Structures are given as C-alpha cells and as structure tokens.
Amino acid sequence: MQIRDAVDTPFVGFAGGDLLVQGNEGVDIVALSHADSGLYSYGDMVLRSENPVGGDAHYWSLGEFRVETLKDDLGSLYSPNDPIIFARGDVSFDAFLGASLHIFAGGEVNIPSFIQVTGADTIAGFFRGCNSLRWNRCSD
C-alpha cells in the first residue's frame, strides 16, 4: 500500500468510523507536501503491515491510533521526516525510528521497545509558516 500527495494535490483519507490502512507486504505513506493532506477518522485508526510502517503524514483520530503487524501485535513506525499523531484515545506502536516525532494523545502513549529520533523536522511540517511560538500559538 502506497500513499502520496503533491504540493498541488492533497491526499485525504477519511473515515466516518474506524480507519484501517493495511498493506500485507508494506505500508508506505508520504503525505506532507500539501497542508490539507492527512488521514482522519471518527473512530480508531490502525496502520497494519507485516513490515515496519513508513508513515510521513499527519494523523487525526477521535479514537485510538495503533500500528500493528498482520498478527495484531504492535508494529513499528519509521519516518524520515515528521509524523504528527493526534488521537483522542491511546497511541500504541512497538517502536519508532525517524525524525521529529510528535504525539498528542488524550489517553496513554504505549511504545514499549524504543524511540530513536534521528534528526529534526526537515520540512517544517508542524511549524509551517511559524516564526515563533507564544503560548502554544504561532506568532510572526
């Protein structure tokens, strides 16, 4: 399963309930080029693959966010750029390798194996158009 966006073409994956993105051999998501791109669910969101999930995107879940293997165990997430995860519930995956991980969770964050941040956000995804922060808001 491969998902891509472009500067002039957003990718929007939306589910009115749970959202499952499954690639039996792999999930490879690169959707940070357009400000409107992202995956959105009113329920739980699961990225499922037997191999580590490539997840360069913004995720918005009103339920839980999970990365799983095909056997429903926790799976690994990697990202060379900057994933941002917003979840009303728990956020769970086995391990993370990549740049500048952002997690905003209303529940628990469960990453039992490891988190290895290899660098800063290379495309200014979270702070795009933001010169400084003041009280959690961008200011010029």
pLDDT for the residue 122:
62
Q: For 51-63, what is each residue's pLDDT tens digit?
A: 999 999 999 999 9
Mean pLDDT of 33-49: 97
Say if CB 101 and CB 115 are below 8 A apart: yes
Cα radius of gyration rounded to whole Å, the chain: 14
pLDDT for the residue 135:
44
Q: For 63-78, what is each residue's pLDDT tens digit?
A: 999 999 999 999 999 9
Mean pLDDT of 74-85: 94
Planar angle of CA 61, 66, 70, nearest 5 degrees: 135
Higher pLDDT, 39 or 138: 39
Closest CA to 22 of 41, 6, 36, 3: 3
The percent of residues in the chain predicted with pLDDT above 90, rounded, is 81
State the CB neighbour count (10 A cutoff) for residue 88. Answer: 17
